[in-house]
Structure 1
Amino acid sequence: NMVVWQDRRAESVTNRLQDKSEIFEQKTGLVLDPYFSAPKQAWIRENVTKQGVVTTSDSWLLHQLTGEFVTDVSTASRSLVTDLDTGEWDRELLSHFDLQDEKLPKILNSDEIAGVTRHFGGIMPVGGLIVDQQAALLAEKCLEVGEAKCTFGTGAFLLANTGKRAVRSSAKLAASFAWRTELETAYCFDGQVYTAASAVRWLKQMGFINAASELDIKAASHHDGIYSVPAFAGLAAPRWRPDVKASFSGITLSSEPSHFILAVLQGIAAQVAELVDLVESDMGSALKTLRVDGGLTQSAVLMQSVADLTQRTIEIYPSQHATPLGAAALARVASKSGGWIKDSVIEWAPSHVFEPKWRSEQAQEFRTAWATAADSAL
């Protein structure tokens, strides 16, 4: 049994700690929200079991492979109980969740060997430890300050490299370790769209499409005044409202299924555009391009909407497997007992590039109308 990241049951835990929210933000760089792992761990202890060890899936898998109980600093920094400056567990924050007596994994650098496994024949070292979105950031070679990517999976996650020192976001983005190796450390800002492919799955369940491959075929060419706030699991930055429900506005008797499909895709793109604005505001510089990966990058309608609403060039990563390729790059560093990350990341060229087709005035008009719809959903 596993509690996934979209599960909101730990809201009961975070609600009672709201008076401590500023402490969490300053120490961890994260917003106090059930999205992260420590509230889920506390909820399991309160409502499910006091037995055994409750941990994240990476630690469980590494234990099955090697017998060790470890995690890496990028994964730990997504917990709400790790100090962003030191990369160590914070005893005060653990006590707020009543987790101070829990057995916790040892935090390793991303290029450390976690242990050895015999599961694949012979003795094999296990290394290349990094949380999934940061792995994609690495694979897409966002190695310099201000370089950013967005992964379109179950949700959509925009990450931007913020450099060697920890900084906190003034726009309520999440701040985390991107990676830490023997030779280098990188931090990142992270903005989330909670439902992307999961919103497409809803379109399928409702009978608007039979499969995601039909999105571009069945989407309308114009939204016809329909705006969607696809907040099927709430809204993240900058609103952080897990209680918000999805909504459609502007529906008339002439509205067709194709308009709903386009509205959902444009609603996802509008949230990504908001995140781009927040990143640029925090960093004080504009993103010239946005690199993207994930299954939904196969939808040209969605990618064009992202280009139009962000008014940025969109570069499609040529593989749907950016996350494992990022981990593989770190495994190379680990296997060589050190080295620079840039020498281990595979060179790549975009499989497709989308340039904005909308005028900036048209994009702003749409985004203003969408923001009004989002405010109404609140």
Structure 2
Amino acid sequence: MDSPVLAIDQGTSGTKALVVCPERGVIGSGAAEVRPHYLPGGLVEVDPAALLSSVLDAGRQALAEAGEAVAGVGLANQGETVLAWDPATGRPLTDAIVWQDRRAAPLCAEMAAYGDELRRLTGLPLDPYFAAPKMAWIRRFLTREGVVTTSDVWLIHQLTGAFATDASTAGRTQLLDLDKAAWSPRALDLFGLGTERLPRVVDAAGPVGTTTAFGAEIPLTGLLVDQQAALLAQRVTAPSTAKCTYGTGAFLLAQTGTEPRRSANGLVSCVAWRLAGETSYCLDGQVYTVASAVRWLADLGVISGARDIDPVGSAVPDSEGVTFVPALAGLAAPWWRGDLRGSVTGLGLDTTPGHLVRALCEGIAAQVAEVAAAAAADLGTPLSVLRVDGGLTRSSLLMQTQADLLQLPVEVSELPDATALGVSAVTRLGLNPSLSLGEAVVRGKPSTVYEPAIGPDQAAERLGAFRAEVAALLDRTPAPS
């Protein structure tokens, strides 16, 4: 019988850890909250020490609940969050700048002439969402000392002393040559980072180092960026299938195989994973504010939290003409207008919290539907199903709304922690390379399947209202020159 592994998902608002046994499934779990600081002007920061302590706390909780030793540990990370740190001591030199942060927008505007070249080279549009603009901003305005990397590199160094990142995370920087899955000297030079010391780019599965942070010495054998880990856990290998994770944001990915496919419809082309030296690729579309938009409603006192979505939203039959474009941190794919602000229209004296909640669900689902349509256009084939995971999949109202607007079945993962399950698979592969990818992934069935409850005409009408509001936002806010 294979030994269990410890899989850690270090996310934006917290860290989840699972002890996963291939025969018995999840035998231990732990969680620790992380609270980013949302500052004026679109700034989002987090204390690096909070990231590390959340990893240690969640991992130790999961091991204590499992009550048995693990053969290896794997780490998933939030991707585009960056910081500067001293490689000699491991001491952070800056706070971590979170992926949602927009402070590098002026730097991107300066580099606009290189946007097409960077997209061809790296698969990514020039946008402060990605790591390289934030890294360049840190070098220009905060410090020239130490190294500047994505947060996973610092965490790996804290745990093992290694200086490494995996290919999927490196692909989120805008510094990786997409075709070669290696650092691009040209991209580094364009961002003024040509002299930087960079981590080695490793496969998702394989020995990286060992850690004693959780007690006995354990090898670190699995690394993946969060959304690609969820893609793997959801077994998305066919072009007609996609997955979407509903967390702080929503992230829809579709597998494209061993050849990168540049999007013609506003999506990101990126590395899914690299295993045994072979790179797999995917298309990726992002919605910046999902759970963070729910938290915003809660902070305003409209609801008390995500658990209120269904009871409050179900108190009314529809949104009564209220349309919510939840671009609270800008619009990502396929528009790439991070400068836009959200809007709520159609309000009246009879508007209730239920109408606002329903409008938010429709706004989230409509953005995901737009990303799904772009993915289908790039793939040249319609999607047949959307597999979903993440905390907000517990909302039947949101998931039913998603099925309605997509006009597709929506399959909810049995466990919401797909990211941790995905990284557990590559951790097992790192321990036992003779396993196939299919053998390494813990099998599960959907907990629920939502079928469309409205017809295509009504779905088109609702999507049309959302698109009209987005068009109005775009008209009111000219693109930065």
Which amino acid counterpart does residue 348 of structure 2 have in structure 1?
T
1:134-159: per-residue Cα shift (whole Å, max 9, x none)?
00000111123332100000000000
Task: Answer yes or no: is 1:11 the counterpart of 2:105.
Answer: yes
Identity %: 46
Contact kept? 2:361, 2:397, Cα under 8 Å = yes
Contact kept? 1:29, 1:174, Cα under 8 Å = yes
SS in 1 for 2:120: helix
Task: Answer yes or no: is 1:148 the counterpart of 2:242.
Answer: yes
Which amino acid counterpart does residue 253 of structure 2 have in structure 1?
L
Instruction: Provide the rounded CA distance (Å) in 1 between the counterparts of 2:248 and 2:360.
Output: 14
Quote how far apart the aligned CAs of 1:230 are: 0.4
Quote how far apart the aligned CAs of 1:298 are: 0.8
Which amino acid counterpart does residue 214 of structure 2 have in structure 1?
F
Aligned to 1:232: 328
Aligned to 1:124: 218
Quote how far apart the aligned CAs of 1:185 are: 3.1
Quote how far apart the aligned CAs of 1:251 are: 1.3
- Residues 344 and 292 of structure 1: CA distance in aligned 2, closer, same or farther (over 3 Å): same
SS in 2 for 1:177: strand
Task: Answer yes or no: is 1:296 the counterpart of 2:392.
Answer: yes
Instruction: Provide the rounded CA distance (Å) in 1 between the counterparts of 2:349 and 2:216.
Output: 66
1:304-331: per-residue Cα shift (whole Å, max 9, x none)?
1100000010000011211111011001
- Residues 26 and 366 of structure 1: CA distance in aligned 2, closer, same or farther (over 3 Å): same
Contact kept? 1:111, 1:338, Cα under 8 Å = no
Q: 1:43 aligns with which of 125, 137, 151?
A: 137
Aligned to 1:319: 415
Contact kept? 2:210, 2:218, Cα under 8 Å = yes
Instruction: Provide the rounded CA distance (Å) in 1 between the counterparts of 2:433 and 2:403.
Output: 41
SS in 2 for 1:112: strand
Instruction: Provide the rounded CA distance (Å) in 1 between the counterparts of 2:137 and 2:278.
Output: 35
Instruction: Provide the rounded CA distance (Å) in 1 between the counterparts of 2:205 and 2:123.
Output: 23
Query: Where do 1:99-118 residues align within 5 Å?
Result: 99-118=193-212
Task: Answer yes or no: is 1:366 the counterpart of 2:445.
Answer: no
Aligned to 2:122: 28
Which amino acid counterpart does residue 159 of structure 2 have in structure 1?
L
Which amino acid counterpart does residue 256 of structure 1 have in structure 2?
T
Contact kept? 1:151, 1:158, Cα under 8 Å = yes
Structure 1 length-normalised TM: 0.98
Which amino acid counterpart does residue 375 of structure 1 have in structure 2?
A
Task: Answer yes or no: is 1:246 the counterpart of 2:342.
Answer: yes
Contact kept? 1:229, 1:377, Cα under 8 Å = no
Aligned to 1:167: 261
Which amino acid counterpart does residue 192 of structure 1 have in structure 2?
Q
Quote how far apart the aligned CAs of 1:342 are: 1.0
Contact kept? 1:183, 1:339, Cα under 8 Å = no
Q: 1:71 aligns with which of 165, 186, 191?
A: 165
Aligned to 2:405: 309
Aligned to 2:57: none
Q: Which runs of 5+ in 2 are unaligned?
A: 1-94, 475-481
Q: 1:216 aligns with which of 291, 306, 310?
A: 310
Aligned to 2:55: none
Aligned to 2:280: 186
Deviates most, 322-331 or 141-150: 141-150
Q: Which runs of 5+ in 1 are unaligned?
A: none
Quote how far apart the aligned CAs of 1:58 are: 1.0
Which amino acid counterpart does residue 351 of structure 1 have in structure 2?
S
Instruction: Provide the rounded CA distance (Å) in 2 between the counterparts of 1:11 and 1:371.
Output: 25
Instruction: Provide the rounded CA distance (Å) in 2 between the counterparts of 1:78 and 1:146.
Output: 24
Which amino acid counterpart does residue 100 of structure 2 have in structure 1?
Q
Aligned to 2:364: 268
Instruction: Provide the rounded CA distance (Å) in 2 between the counterparts of 1:319 and 1:227.
Output: 31
Quote how far apart the aligned CAs of 1:161 are: 0.6
Which amino acid counterpart does residue 85 of structure 1 have in structure 2?
D
Quote how far apart the aligned CAs of 1:338 are: 4.6
SS in 2 for 1:54: strand
Instruction: Provide the rounded CA distance (Å) in 2 between the counterparts of 1:97 and 1:260.
Output: 42
Instruction: Provide the rounded CA distance (Å) in 2 between the counterparts of 1:263 and 1:349.
Output: 30
Instruction: Provide the rounded CA distance (Å) in 1 between the counterparts of 2:185 and 2:279.
Output: 23
Aligned to 1:195: 289
Contact kept? 1:143, 1:342, Cα under 8 Å = no
- Residues 251 and 121 of structure 1: CA distance in aligned 2, closer, same or farther (over 3 Å): closer
SS in 2 for 1:188: strand
Deviates most, 178-187 or 44-53: 178-187
Structure 2 length-normalised TM: 0.77
Q: How many residues align?
A: 378
SS in 2 for 1:276: helix
SS in 2 for 1:130: strand
Instruction: Provide the rounded CA distance (Å) in 2 between the counterparts of 1:349 and 1:375.
Output: 39
Instruction: Provide the rounded CA distance (Å) in 1 between the counterparts of 2:359 and 2:459.
Output: 14
Q: 1:259 aligns with which of 355, 379, 383?
A: 355
- Residues 338 and 114 of structure 1: CA distance in aligned 2, closer, same or farther (over 3 Å): farther
Instruction: Provide the rounded CA distance (Å) in 1 between the counterparts of 2:259 and 2:466.
Output: 35
Quote how far apart the aligned CAs of 1:183 are: 6.7
Contact kept? 2:203, 2:277, Cα under 8 Å = no
1:129-188: per-residue Cα shift (whole Å, max 9, x none)?
110000000011112333210000000000001111111000120011101101753210
Instruction: Provide the rounded CA distance (Å) in 2 between the counterparts of 1:144 and 1:243.
Output: 35
Aligned to 1:95: 189
RMSD: 1.1
Instruction: Provide the rounded CA distance (Å) in 2 between the counterparts of 1:252 and 1:341.
Output: 54
Aligned to 1:332: 428
Which amino acid counterpart does residue 333 of structure 2 have in structure 1?
A
